């Protein structure tokens, strides 16, 4: 899983009017919403157009059993300095996109951009591939 970049992320209420985005990545079983794997990118300060180019590896011997699962990418505004100083630090939700694992398995490699949902604007650029060893 490679999180390449995001574009035109929503501005949220913050002290300096900027966002410090990070991406949470989870593989979940949709029927139970159980997370079987999770990770996150680094936080990129003061940008609505962050570039991560960060890769994540899911090493599983039962990879084929994940075909009914989904990968959920959620973008957050990382804790900002003022909120941290006031003791109210939290990551504010900026949007999400969900990709079904059966789509990944069918194509072996997906590289495209996705509109973020549950927000006003923003796109996430991803590359997802499956390799068997």
Q: Which tens digits make up the pLDDT trace of 72-122?
A: 999 999 865 445 445 556 788 899 999 999 998 888 889 999 999 987 689
pLDDT band at 47 (very low <50, low <70, confident <90, very high): very high
Please choose, from the candidates 90, 74, 55, the residue with its C-alpha nearest in 3D space to the C-alpha of residue 122.
74
Q: How far apart are the first and last CA of the chain?
A: 16
The pTM assigned to this predicted structure is: 0.87
CA atoms of 120 and 100, how far apart (whole Å): 23
């Amino acid at each position: 899983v490679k999180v390449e970049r995001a574009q035109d992320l929503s501005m949220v209420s913050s002290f300096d009017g900027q966002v410090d985005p990070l991406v949470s990545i989870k593989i979940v079983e949709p029927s139970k919403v159980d997370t079987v794997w999770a990770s996150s990118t680094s936080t990129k300060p003061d940008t609505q157009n962050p570039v991560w180019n960060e890769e994540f590896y899911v090493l599983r011997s039962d990879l084929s059993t994940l075909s009914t699962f989904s990968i959920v990418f959620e973008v957050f505004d990382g804790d900002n300095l003022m909120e941290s100083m006031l003791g109210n630090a939290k990551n504010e939700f900026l949007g999400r996109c969900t990709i079904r694992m059966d789509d990944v398995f069918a194509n072996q490699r997906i590289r495209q951009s996705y509109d973020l949902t549950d927000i006003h604007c923003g796109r996430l650029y991803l590359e997802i591939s499956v390799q068997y060893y």
